[in-house]
C-alpha cells in the first residue's frame, strides 16, 4: 500500500511513473535511454535527497519473470558497449570532528556548522528513503544509473541545449532572491520551491561538465591550483604578519614601464614540514612565495590556464583557432603585461588608467575573474561527481575529504563608482563568457534599472555646454552611485540579480555596500579576488566607504548560509584568507590614499606589483596652459603629513591671503580640494569680514548661478571653489583675474583647465588685455605626487629639495 501511494505521487514524471510490463518489453534498452534523455529536467540531475520530495530513482516492480529477463539481457548488451568505469582511489584525510577541539579562534564557527551539516544529510537521506525497497529495486536502480551515465557521456551536447531551454522556462516562474541584499523594492518571499529550482539548476550544470581528469593532470602548473589548493607553512605566515613582510625590487616592461615588485622577505626555500596546522593534518605541499614576474612570449593564451571557452569568445576574428593563438595576438601589449601579472594572482596597483585604455583594463580583470570562477566551479563539480561515483560503487566515503570551497559562495568583489560602470562590466563579462546560444537572465530588468535614462531637456543641455572628453566618458549614462548586484556564472548562462549567497561575482558601489554592511557582512568573508575600478572617482565620492569595506573583509560569519564545513579549505577555516586574496586597484591618478591601502591592507604571499613611472616633461600638464601667466609655487615647511593641514592654513592666512585685500587683487578664485579645508577657510573669511562667495558641491543650482554672476561682475572679490564641484560639474567660471590653488589638484588636468579660464574670452570687459593675471600655488613635501604630475618628476624633485621656497613658471607668450 505505501509503495503504491509513492508510485502514484511520482506518476506525473514523464514515462517513468507507472510503466506496465508490455511497454517495458517493447522499448528494451534503447527506448528506456530515449525516455531518460527526454526527461533530463526531472531525472538526469536529481540525486537521492531532492530536498525531501521523495526518491526520484526509478523504483519499478517486475510483473513477470520474463520482463526481468528481457531487461537483464538488454542491460548486458549495453554494458558491453560502454567502457568499464575505473574506481577512483579514496582520499585519506582526517575528519573535521577529530580536529575540532584544536581550533580556538573558530570553535564557535565549527559548532555552528556541525549542527547543520548538509553533506551528511545528502549522503544519508538516500539510505533512509530506500530502506523499504527490496533487492530487486536496488538492482534496477543500478541499471538506471548506468543508463544515465551512458546518456551523459553519449549525449552531452544535447543535454546542454536542454538545460538552456529549461533555464528559459524556469526564469519566468523564478522568484527574486535576497531582496534585502539587492536593494529591490519588491518583497517576494523565497520558499521551498525556489530553493528546489536553484538546487536543480546546479545539478543540471554538473551534468554538463566532463569527468575532470584533464584538470587534475595540469594542476601541478596551474596558477589557480598553486595559489588556492595548498596550505601555508608557519615560517611564511610569520613573515606576512611581521611589520615589514616584503622586500622591494624594480623591473621594467615595455608597456607598463617601471614596476616596484614587493616579494615576501627571507622565505625558507627548503619548505621544511612545519608543525600540524590548525584544522587538519600536515600536507605534503605548501604554497610557494612569489618571485620576480617573467613576461612570456609566443605562448598560447590557453597555456596560461585560461579556459578555452573564454579564449574563443575573446578572439572575435572569424575562422580563427583560439587554441593556437598566442597571448600577444589576442591581447594588446598593455593587456598582455597586466594579465601576465594577474593570472599569477599578484596584487596590482596601476595608476595610469584613462578613458582611452579603460576598456582594455576592464577586459583583463573580467577575463581573469571569469577564469577564476569557472575553475572554482569546475573543481567543485568534479569533486561532486567523484563523491557520487564512490557512493554508486558502494565505496566508503566517510574518510573522503575534498577541500574546494570557502565559507560562503561569493569569490569575486568588483567595486565600481557608478551604475554606468556596472553596465560596462556586465557587458564585458557577457561578451567573454557567453557563446552565441548563451543567455543573460534578468537582462531586461538590469537595463531598466542600470541603463541610461535621459529626457529631452538633458539632451538639449548637453548640446549647449561643452564638456571635456574625460568628463563625457565618466558621466555618460546612469550616474547613480548607490547600487549592488549579484551574478551567478554557469557554462552558458549569466544570471543577474542572484542572491548574494548564491552569487559568484558581486558588483557594488562603496555606498551600496556600506548601507548593507550594517546588517550583514558575511558575504565578504570568502572574497578571493578584489577589484577596485576607477579608484580616483571613488576618492571623489567618499573614501571612508572604501575603507569600511576593507575592515569587513574575512570576518567570521555569523550564520551558516548552507555551507558544508567538510568542503571548506583549511586556510579559510584557520583565518588566513587575507593572505590568499588578490587585490587589483586601477586609477587614473596616483593617490597616496590608494597606495597606503595597497600597501597596508594587502598581504598576498604571491607578491605585489606597483606601477610607478616617471612623468616626462612632455607629459606635464603645466605645458597645456595657453594664456601668458606667471605661476608662483610657494613651498611651506611641515614636519609630518598629519600636521600639514594646519601648517598650510596658517601659511595661507598669514602670508598669502592678506595680499588679496588690495583692490587690484579682486576677482580671485581660491581652489580648495578638501571640503574640510573649504569649511575652515569659509569660517575664517566670515570672521575676517571678507567680501567673498562660496561654491561647493552642496550649493543649490539657483544660488550657484547667482554667485557666479556676482563674481563675474566684480561684486564678490573672492570665490571659494571646491574640487568636487569642478569634478562633477566642470563649470566654466568666467571673470577670473587671479587664481590661487590652496592645494595642488588631485587630477593634474584640472590645473591647466582653471588657468585657461584667465583668457580674455572669459574675462570681464574691463580686465581684458591688461596682462595682470596671476597664479599662486601652495605645496609641501607631502604633495610630491601631485606636483610631479603637473611640472614633471625631475622638476618636482628639484623644487622639493631646493633651498628656495618660491619657484616661478611663466607660460604662453612668444
Q: Express each pLDDT in 154-211 by its tens digit.
A: 344 443 444 344 444 344 444 444 433 444 333 333 333 344 344 434 433 433 444 3
Mean pLDDT of 473-501: 93
Q: Is the pLDDT of residue 668 over 80?
A: yes
The helix or strand, by DSSP H or E, that contains position 694, with its residue range, turns out to be strand 692-695
Crossing angle of helices 644-651 and 675-687, in 10° steps, is 30
Residue with cell 621594467: 252
Q: Which residue has the higher pLDDT, 578 or 268?
A: 578
223-267+284-394+402-457+468-611 and 622-810 agree in CATH topology: yes
Give CA separation, 790 vs 30, 221, 439, 631, in Å.
77, 45, 47, 12
List the beta bridge partners of residue 270: none
CB 412 within 8 A of CB 529: yes
Cα-based distances in Å from 162 to 29, 46, 331: 22, 15, 34
Q: Which alpha helices (H) appear in 393-455, and where do they start and end?
A: 419-433, 443-450
Alpha-carbon gap, residue 589 to 183, rounded angstroms: 32
- Angle value at C-alpha 118, between 113 and 120, nearest 5 degrees: 105
Cell of 764: 570681464
| CATH code matching the domain that covers 223-267+284-394+402-457+468-611, chosen among 3.40.50.2000, 3.90.1720.10, 3.90.79.10, 3.40.50.300 | 3.40.50.300
- List the 493-496 sheet strands across, edge first: 246-253, 257-264, 608-611, 347-350, 582-586, 529-532, 412-415, 505-508, 484-489, 493-496, 439-441
The mean-pLDDT minimum among 192-201, 340-349, 585-594, 760-769 falls in: 192-201
pLDDT digits (tens, 9 = 90+) for 527-540: 999 999 999 999 99
**pLDDT tens, 611-657?**
999 999 999 999 999 999 999 999 999 999 999 999 999 999 999 99
- Mean pLDDT confidence for 49-53: 40
Residue 247 predicted with pLDDT over 70: yes
Q: What is the pLDDT of residue 105?
A: 43
For residue 779, the cross-strand partners are 635
Question: Read out DSSP for 224-269?
Answer: HHHHHSSB--HHHHHHHTSS--EEEEEEEETTTEEEEEEEESS--T
The domain ranges of the chain are 223-267+284-394+402-457+468-611, 622-810
Least confident of 9-13, 305-309, 584-588, 669-673: 9-13
Residue 115 pLDDT > 80, yes or no? no
Determine the Cα–Cα distance for residues 538 and 552; give it in Å rounded to an integer: 18
* Strand ranges, E, within 416-498: 439-441, 484-489, 493-496
**Average pLDDT score, the chain:** 77
Higher pLDDT, 7 or 810: 810
Residue 395: exposed, middle, or buried by beta-carbon count in 10 A (0-12, 13-18, 19+)? middle
- Round to whole Å and give the CA distance between 17 and 171: 26
Number of alpha carbons in the 13 Å side-chain half-sphere of residue 454: 13
CA distance 770 to 196: 79
Is 622-810 a domain of CATH 1.10.10.10? no
Q: How far is 459 from 462, CA to CA, in rounded Å?
A: 5
CB atoms within 10 A of CB 404: 18
Q: What end-to-end distance do the CA atoms of the chain give, in Å? A: 105
The stretches of 672-792 forming alpha helices (DSSP H) are 675-687, 701-713, 723-729, 750-755, 784-791
pLDDT tens digits along 351-384: 999 999 999 999 999 999 999 999 999 999 999 9
Provide the pLDDT confidence category of residue 324 given band limits of 50, 70 and 90: confident
Grid cell listed for 10: 511520482
Amino acid at each position: 500500500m505505501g509503495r503504491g501511494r509513492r508510485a502514484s505521487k511520482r506518476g506525473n514524471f514523464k514515462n517513468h511513473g507507472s510503466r506496465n510490463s508490455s511497454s517495458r518489453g517493447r522499448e528494451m534498452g534503447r527506448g528506456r535511454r530515449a525516455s531518460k534523455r527526454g526527461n533530463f529536467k526531472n531525472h538526469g540531475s536529481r540525486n537521492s535527497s531532492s530536498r525531501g520530495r521523495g526518491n526520484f530513482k526509478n523504483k519499478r516492480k517486475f510483473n513477470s519473470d520474463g520482463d526481468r529477463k528481457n531487461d537483464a539481457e538488454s542491460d548486458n548488451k549495453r554494458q558491453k558497449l560502454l567502457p568499464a568505469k575505473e574506481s577512483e582511489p579514496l582520499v585519506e584525510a582526517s575528519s573535521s570532528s577529530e580536529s575540532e577541539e584544536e581550533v580556538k579562534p573558530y570553535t564557535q564557527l565549527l559548532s555552528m556548522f556541525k549542527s547543520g551539516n548538509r553533506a551528511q544529510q545528502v549522503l544519508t537521506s538516500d539510505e533512509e528513503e530506500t530502506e523499504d525497497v527490496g533487492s530487486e529495486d536496488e538492482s534496477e536502480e543500478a541499471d538506471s544509473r548506468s543508463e544515465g551515465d551512458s546518456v551523459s557521456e553519449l549525449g552531452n551536447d544535447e543535454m546542454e541545449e536542454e538545460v538552456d531551454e529549461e533555464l528559459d522556462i524556469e526564469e519566468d516562474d523564478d522568484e527574486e532572491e535576497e531582496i534585502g541584499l539587492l536593494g529591490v523594492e519588491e518583497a517576494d518571499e523565497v520558499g521551498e520551491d525556489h530553493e528546489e529550482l536553484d538546487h536543480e539548476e546546479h545539478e543540471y550544470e554538473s551534468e554538463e561538465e566532463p569527468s575532470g581528469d584533464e584538470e587534475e593532470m595540469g594542476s601541478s602548473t596551474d596558477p589557480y591550483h598553486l595559489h588556492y589548493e595548498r596550505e601555508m607553512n608557519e615560517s611564511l605566515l610569520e613573515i606576512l604578519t611581521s611589520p615589514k613582510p616584503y622586500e622591494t625590487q624594480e623591473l621594467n616592461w615595455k608597456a607598463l614601464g617601471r614596476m616596484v615588485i614587493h616579494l615576501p622577505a627571507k622565505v625558507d626555500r627548503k619548505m621544511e614540514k612545519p608543525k600540524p596546522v590548525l584544522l587538519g593534518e600536515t600536507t605534503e605541499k605548501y604554497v610557494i612565495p612569489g618571485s620576480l614576474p617573467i613576461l612570456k612570449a609566443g605562448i598560447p593564451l590557453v597555456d596560461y590556464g585560461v579556459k578555452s571557452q573564454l579564449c574563443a569568445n575573446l578572439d572575435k576574428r572569424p575562422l580563427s583557432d583560439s587554441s593556437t593563438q598566442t597571448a600577444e595576438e589576442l591581447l594588446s601589449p598593455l593587456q598582455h603585461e597586466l594579465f601576465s601579472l594577474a593570472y599569477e594572482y599578484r596584487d596590482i596597483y596601476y595608476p595610469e588608467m584613462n578613458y582611452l585604455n579603460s576598456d582594455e583594463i576592464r577586459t583583463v580583470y573580467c577575463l581573469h575573474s571569469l577564469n577564476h570562477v569557472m575553475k572554482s566551479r569546475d573543481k567543485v563539480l568534479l569533486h561532486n561527481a567523484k563523491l557520487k561515483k564512490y557512493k554508486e560503487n558502494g565505496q566508503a566515503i566517510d574518510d573522503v575529504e575534498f577541500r574546494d570551497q570557502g565559507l560562503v559562495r561569493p569569490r569575486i568583489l568588483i567595486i565600481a563608482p557608478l551604475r554606468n560602470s556596472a553596465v560596462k562590466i556586465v557587458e564585458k563579462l557577457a561578451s567573454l563568457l557567453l557563446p552565441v546560444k548563451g543567455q543573460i537572465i534578468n537582462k531586461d530588468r538590469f537595463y531598466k534599472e542600470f541603463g541610461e535614462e535621459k529626457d529631452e531637456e538633458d539632451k538639449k543641455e548637453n548640446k549647449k555646454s561643452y564638456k571635456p572628453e574625460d568628463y563625457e566618458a565618466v558621466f555618460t549614462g546612469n550616474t547613480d552611485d548607490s547600487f549592488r548586484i549579484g551574478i551567478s556564472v554557469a557554462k552558458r548562462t549569466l544570471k543577474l540579480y542572484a542572491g548574494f549567497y548564491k552569487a559568484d561575482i558581486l558588483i557594488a558601489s562603496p555606498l551600496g555596500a556600506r548601507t548593507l554592511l550594517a546588517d550583514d557582512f558575511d558575504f565578504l568573508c570568502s572574497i578571493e579576488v578584489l577589484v577596485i575600478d576607477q579608484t580616483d572617482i571613488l576618492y571623489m565620492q567618499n573614501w571612508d566607504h572604501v575603507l569600511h569595506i576593507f575592515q569587513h573583509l574575512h570576518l567570521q560569519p555569523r550564520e551558516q548560509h548552507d555551507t558544508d564545513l567538510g568542503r571548506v579549505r583549511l586556510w579559510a577555516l584557520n583565518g588566513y584568507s587575507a593572505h590568499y586574496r588578490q587585490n587589483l586597484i586601477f586609477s587614473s591618478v596616483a593617490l597616496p590614499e590608494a597606495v597606503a591601502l595597497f600597501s597596508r591592507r594587502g598581504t598576498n604571499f604571491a607578491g605585489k606589483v606597483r606601477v610607478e613611472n616617471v612623468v616626462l616633461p612632455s607629459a606635464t600638464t603645466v605645458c597645456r596652459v595657453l594664456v601668458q601667466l606667471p605661476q608662483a609655487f610657494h613651498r611651506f615647511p611641515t614636519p609630518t603629513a598629519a600636521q600639514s593641514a594646519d601648517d598650510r592654513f596658517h601659511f595661507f592666512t598669514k602670508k598669502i591671503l592678506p595680499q588679496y585685500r588690495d583692490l587690484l587683487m579682486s576677482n580671485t578664485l581660491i581652489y580648495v580640494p578638501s571640503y574640510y579645508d573649504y569649511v575652515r577657510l569659509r569660517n575664517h573669511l566670515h570672521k575676517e569680514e571678507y567680501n567673498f562667495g562660496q561654491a561647493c558641491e552642496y550649493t543649490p543650482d539657483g544660488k550657484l548661478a547667482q554667485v557666479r554672476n556676482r563674481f563675474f561682475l566684480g561684486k564678490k572679490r573672492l570665490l571659494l571653489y571646491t574640487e568636487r564641484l569642478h569634478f562633477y560639474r566642470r563649470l566654466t567660471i568666467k571673470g577670473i583675474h587671479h587664481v590661487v590653488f590652496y592645494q595642488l589638484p588631485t587630477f593634474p588636468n584640472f590645473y591647466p583647465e582653471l588657468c585657461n579660464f584667465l583668457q580674455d574670452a572669459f574675462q570681464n570687459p574691463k580686465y581684458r588685455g591688461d596682462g595682470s593675471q596671476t597664479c599662486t600655488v601652495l605645496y609641501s613635501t607631502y604633495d610630491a605626487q601631485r606636483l610631479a604630475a603637473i611640472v614633471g618628476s625631475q622638476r618636482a624633485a628639484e623644487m622639493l629639495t631646493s633651498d628656495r621656497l618660491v619657484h616661478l613658471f611663466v607660460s604662453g607668450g612668444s
